[in-house]
Amino acid sequence: MKKIRILFVCHGNICRSPMAEFVMKELVRRAGRDDIVVESAALHTDEIGNDIHNGTRRKLLAEGIPFAPRRAWLLTAAKAREYDLLIGMDDYNMADLRRLVFLEDAGKIRKLLSFAGSERDIADPWYTGNFDQTYADILEGCTALLKSL
C-alpha cells in the first residue's frame, strides 16, 4: 500500500507546522490509519535546528497530544518532491511554497484551512501569543484534511 506523505510548513518550523504535525499524527493514530506519514518543515532559516516553541509544547501537553523532541529543518524543492501534499498555514507560506517548489509540484500545495472550506490564515502565535486559537484552527484543518483522505 502506498503511503500518503504530508508535509506541513510554516515560517520557522517551531510553532504552527510542528503543532499541525503532532495533531495530525494523533488524529491519524486514533483513526487507525497506517497509510499516512506526517512531517513538518521550515520555509526560512531563522529557527533551523531548534526544537518546538515552549508555547506549542505547553498547548500540546494541555490537549494530551503526544510529541517528541525534533529539530526545525529547511524545505528544499528536491525534498518537497517526496511529499504528496505540501500544506502551508498562511498566505505568506503559500507564496513561499509557490516560489520554492518545482513547477510540476505546484499542484501539491494547499492551505490547511482550505480543507475546512476556508481560506483564512492560521495566525502565527510567535507574534500573537495565542496558542489556543492557533491550536483550534489547526485542529479544524487537520480534522477536515483527514476526512478528505
| Selected catalytic residue, list 90, 96, 121, 124 | 124
- CB atoms inside a 10 Å sphere around CB 31: 12
Question: Contact at 8 Å (CB) between 45 and 71?
Answer: no
- Containing 137, the helix (H) or strand (E) segment is helix 131-148
Q: What is the DSSP string of 26-60?
A: HHHHHTT--SEEEEEEESSSTTTT----HHHHHHH
| Selected catalytic residue, list 10, 57, 110, 121 | 10
Per the annotation, the verdict on 81 as an active-site residue is no
Q: In this structure, what are the phi and psi dihedrals at residue 116, rounded to the nearest 5 degrees?
A: -100, 10
Cα–Cα distance between 81 and 128 in angstroms, integer? 32
| Selected catalytic residue, list 16, 90, 96, 110 | 16
Per the annotation, the verdict on 10 as an active-site residue is yes
Per the annotation, the verdict on 16 as an active-site residue is yes
Residues serving a catalytic function are 10, 16, 124
